[in-house]
Chain A
């Protein structure tokens, strides 16, 4: 593979490992079981990987055709600030998803599913490490007053509830969420990484191909267990139902759509040469792709229920059942999975706070909409802090006590915490090495 590997300076490398001990205690199980679950695969490496051989010319935006930039100081101040925000948000998502996965990881019914997610988590740790390499290997002082140490410190101090993007502030309710999250939210990651491959800042562009290769497995670690579950559900297995999967899809798809940013935005990313698609364009492609995932799961379900059908017959039956809302071959249209309407349960972007149902129904009454949410979201999630805040804010918006714009800024309720490590031995994640003692001059 044409990739250069490098490690962070010791103080940052140690900070990541220190964070891992607190937030990712299962990490040590991975090397012990690697050859059982991933035979022939190269060992996992906690390091930054930079693709070799990427082009030197900017591909999109105002500087298209000019040489790619190698240092933050070569960017305009606006560009630098914008890219720094992207890198920090990306880093936050990587560490955030590990914190979410860890809570329900041990509840997996199958060891293979658990070790697949464990590998996903380890690779997310590597992606976070990669973003730290972006933050610490170059001088960003032209666009921020924060030192590299403080930027790393701030990201490592975030918890579920204080991350930059909403999807990473929502707790998992069961292992169904681990799997649906990999299929739905990691898919947004794939889009972001693919768009950022064109980045005008070469070190960031070089970071993308190795991350994208790893992300392909993350999506499979979601989709393949889902395929196996729908097959078992079709054969009468009661412990993972299509209803549980549907509710988890309803929980995560709205957050995935919001990760692309406001539907009207994305111009700056293109102008600065950082991405090649606007927000709505990328979000629409993503939503179409989710339709394909759901269609594939439905076909897997139908073929398990009616094995004599050919692939084409199964595909046609699924389409007919959903189009006519009918029943055939003992399968009803509402036995199947559907993608929630892209305006459903939104708190950011164009359709935020509009009270649209999973099947595009419109609601005028908040209580009726909350009842619809209760019927379509996972039961344990209804009791969460996130849901309570959402419903309270929705009531305020509908009653005119707050505007949709103010409400968008309120969710999630960010509470940034200071750089405090939970263990008693240190108050910071990044611990400065003492200066080496100097030899007396001869």
Chain B
């Protein structure tokens, strides 16, 4: 499908996106991790590629959001959309690409029966937390707990 130059296109995740997703992560973290992203992308392709929209500008992948539809976890029976991975190429930030990706994921998860979206954000991810609050997330009544065992 053709689109105007510079326009943002959204489509489901595909195997063709591996190289660019790895490169976006490398730009964000400074580390080249092709094996890690191969494993992750295969996981999300197996789950549901439509729940993982990617954003393209002029045919180049510039952002991605990986989500998953699950229910019955932690005693929460309702169908829940989990926002699990998210990245926008630094060269393309500030163009509402994250918001477009989030809206596409939300619409799809809703169409598949999700009644709530959930995610976890680390204390160091202030920008991400700010973005999520801007699109409508609020503090959840649940508390994340962990215990180191080794």
On chain B, which size bracket covers the interface? Answer: 20 to 34
Given A2-B113, A53-B111, the answer on whether A299 and B46 have CB atoms closer than 8 Å is no
Q: Are A1 and B112 in contact (CB under 8 A)?
A: yes
**Bound Cα distance A2, B38 (Å):** 28
CB 8 Å contact bits of B2-25 with A (1 = contact, 0 = none): 000000000011111011001100
Given A41-B46, A41-B47, the answer on whether A227 and B14 have CB atoms closer than 8 Å is no
The reply to whether the CB of B69 lies closer than 8 angstroms to some CB of chain A is yes
The reply to whether the CB of A213 lies closer than 8 angstroms to some CB of chain B is yes
Nearest CB in chain B to that of A116: its residue: B42
CB distance from A214 to the nearest CB of B (A): 9
The reply to whether the CB of A237 lies closer than 8 angstroms to some CB of chain B is no
Q: Are B19 and A299 in contact (CB under 8 A)?
A: yes
Contact of A216 among B26, B49, B69 (CB under 8 A): B49
Q: Are A220 and B19 in contact (CB under 8 A)?
A: no
**Bound Cα distance A230, B10 (Å):** 30
Q: Are B38 and A216 in contact (CB under 8 A)?
A: no
Q: Are A289 and B16 in contact (CB under 8 A)?
A: yes
The reply to whether the CB of A83 lies closer than 8 angstroms to some CB of chain B is no
Q: Are A220 and B34 in contact (CB under 8 A)?
A: no
Given A2-B113, A227-B34, the answer on whether A220 and B48 have CB atoms closer than 8 Å is no
CB distance from A440 to the nearest CB of B (A): 50
The reply to whether the CB of B117 lies closer than 8 angstroms to some CB of chain A is no
Residues of chain B within 8 A (CB-CB) of A227 are 18, 34, 38
Interface size on A, residues (CB 8 A): 27
The reply to whether the CB of A305 lies closer than 8 angstroms to some CB of chain B is no
Contact of A293 among B16, B35, B113 (CB under 8 A): B16
The reply to whether the CB of A327 lies closer than 8 angstroms to some CB of chain B is no
The secondary-structure label for the interface of chain B is helix
Q: Are A2 and B45 in contact (CB under 8 A)?
A: no
The reply to whether the CB of B54 lies closer than 8 angstroms to some CB of chain A is no
Which residues of A (1-24) have their CB < 8 Å from a CB of B? Answer: 1-2
Q: Are A296 and B48 in contact (CB under 8 A)?
A: no
CB distance from B24 to the nearest CB of A (A): 9
Q: Are B16 and A217 in contact (CB under 8 A)?
A: no
**Bound Cα distance A220, B16 (Å):** 9
Given A231-B34, A289-B16, the answer on whether A217 and B45 have CB atoms closer than 8 Å is yes
The reply to whether the CB of B41 lies closer than 8 angstroms to some CB of chain A is yes
Residues of chain B within 8 A (CB-CB) of A1 are 48, 69, 112-113
Nearest CB in chain A to that of B113: its residue: A2
CB 8 Å contact bits of A278-317 with B (1 = contact, 0 = none): 0000000000010011001001100100010001000000
Q: Are B112 and A220 in contact (CB under 8 A)?
A: no
The reply to whether the CB of A228 lies closer than 8 angstroms to some CB of chain B is yes
Given A227-B34, A228-B38, A311-B23, the answer on whether A216 and B112 have CB atoms closer than 8 Å is no
Which residues of B (38-65) have their CB < 8 Å from a CB of A? Answer: 38, 41-42, 45-50
Q: Are A213 and B49 in contact (CB under 8 A)?
A: yes
CB 8 Å contact bits of A207-238 with B (1 = contact, 0 = none): 00000010011011111100110010000000
Q: Are A220 and B15 in contact (CB under 8 A)?
A: yes
Residues of chain A within 8 A (CB-CB) of B18 are 223-224, 227, 296
Nearest CB in chain B to that of A296: its residue: B19
The reply to whether the CB of B137 lies closer than 8 angstroms to some CB of chain A is no
The reply to whether the CB of A38 lies closer than 8 angstroms to some CB of chain B is yes
**Bound Cα distance A221, B111 (Å):** 28
CB 8 Å contact bits of B92-131 with A (1 = contact, 0 = none): 0000000000000000000111000000000000000000
Nearest CB in chain B to that of A300: its residue: B34
**Bound Cα distance A303, B47 (Å):** 29
Residues of chain A within 8 A (CB-CB) of B69 are 1
CB distance from B147 to the nearest CB of A (A): 21
**Bound Cα distance A53, B112 (Å):** 10
Q: Are A216 and B15 in contact (CB under 8 A)?
A: yes
**Bound Cα distance A2, B112 (Å):** 6
**Bound Cα distance A299, B18 (Å):** 11
Nearest CB in chain B to that of A1: its residue: B112
A-B contacts, 17 listed (Cβ < 8 Å):
A1-B69, A2-B113, A41-B47, A213-B48, A217-B42, A217-B45, A219-B45, A220-B15, A220-B45, A223-B15, A223-B16, A224-B18, A224-B41, A228-B35, A228-B38, A289-B16, A307-B32
**Which 10 A-B residue pairs are closest in the complex by CB-CB distance?**
A311-B23, A216-B49, A219-B15, A223-B15, A220-B15, A296-B19, A216-B45, A217-B46, A220-B45, A220-B42
20 new A-B pairs (CB below 8 Å) besides A1-B112, A216-B15, A217-B46?
A: A1-B69, A1-B113, A53-B111, A216-B12, A216-B14, A219-B15, A222-B15, A223-B16, A224-B15, A227-B18, A227-B38, A228-B35, A231-B34, A289-B16, A292-B16, A299-B19, A300-B19, A303-B32, A311-B19, A311-B22
Give A residues with C-beta under 8 Å from B. Answer: 1-2, 38, 41, 53, 183, 213, 216-217, 219-224, 227-228, 231, 289, 292-293, 296, 299-300, 303, 307, 311
